Amino acid sequence: MGGPSEERDVSLTTGNAVAEACRRNGYETTEYPFHFDHRKLLDKLKKQDIIFNALHGGIGENGKIQAWMNKNGIPNTGSGPESSALCMDKEKSKSIATRNNIPTPKWEMLFSTDERSTLPIPFVVKPNDQGSTVGLTIVHNESEIVPAIIEAFAHGVLVMVEEYIHGRELTVTVLGDKAYPIVEIRPSHELYDYECKYTPGMSQYICPAEIPEKLTKSIQHDTELIFKALGCDVYARADYLLDENGQYYFLEMNTLPGMTSTSLVPKSVKATGMSFDELIKKIIELSL
């Protein structure tokens, strides 16, 4: 928990919530916060039955921590290194969605601050490998283009410019190989940004989402499909936009979704009667 990414504080909150749930489940539990050098924890981690990965963003989510633990024979929760790296790369995961006939907003990649997109305004500018909307801007006019690109490159070496879809924000949890009830997010800001994600009261959540049953089943089916196509394991959360015509668009797959009091995965499984403690236990059991 913790780590060096820009989502460190959220990771610590997730880690504390997971640790408390583990203790309530009767597991002997130790927290391992770190900042920059996870390797110093090697001897301690190797003594545990399993490590619950509560990191978000950076090396904790891009496959590097997973590869290091696997190399050192440390059992850990969630998806493996290849899938983690793939899902962290928005361009690659959207390409796989397209190959599987799952709609996703049009996009272009920028490799330097001097490049410009050919997509029409409005569009979204964001780092290719960040989560929690870090470095993301919705561009409404030409004067916002350069600042948005500079901001995105401040958080990553590749930048995605993506078609802006005006619509409802949906998210779908997969646990095991099953998609759970869809959550609709109604943020108080224009988009579900960092503040709306992690500040209680800044967003409304409707679960199950109030959409037609046929549409629900279609989104859940495609979520299970992209979960497998990306090689995900145990659990993950897919984000979508739903436009006014009822067309949904895949945005990204999160292999280490938050587990805080405002997090979406616990809200989704709760709609089926699963408690937070039961969710944590299920993740551990599936990972083992």
169 annotated active-site: no
**Which of 15, 169, 237, 248 is labelled catalytic?**
237
* 23 CB-side CA count, 13 A: 8
**Which of 8, 258, 263, 287 is labelled catalytic?**
258
138 forms beta bridges with 124
39 annotated active-site: no
Query: Which helix (H) or strand (E) segment is 236 a member of?
Result: strand 235-243
**Which of 192, 198, 248, 249 is labelled catalytic?**
198
132 annotated active-site: yes
**Which of 53, 84, 203, 254 is labelled catalytic?**
254
For residue 200, the SS3 value is coil
What distances in angstroms separate CA 49 from CA 14, 44, 76, one per listed residue?
A: 20, 11, 9
3-state SS, one letter per residue, for 46-101: CCCCCECCCCCCHHHHCCHHHHHHHHCCCCECCCCHHHHHHHHCHHHHHHHHHHCC
Amino acid at 189: H
198 annotated active-site: yes
254 annotated active-site: yes
What's the DSSP call for residue 189?
Answer: S
- Helix ranges (DSSP H) in the chain: 8-24, 42-45, 58-61, 64-71, 81-88, 90-99, 145-153, 194-198, 213-229, 264-270, 276-287
7 annotated active-site: yes
Backbone angles phi, psi at 49, to 5 degrees: -70, -40
194 Cβ contact list (under 8 Å, min separation 6): 132, 133, 134
**Which of 79, 252, 263, 268 is labelled catalytic?**
252
**Which of 83, 132, 263, 287 is labelled catalytic?**
132
Which residues carry out catalysis? 7, 132, 198, 237, 239, 252, 254, 258
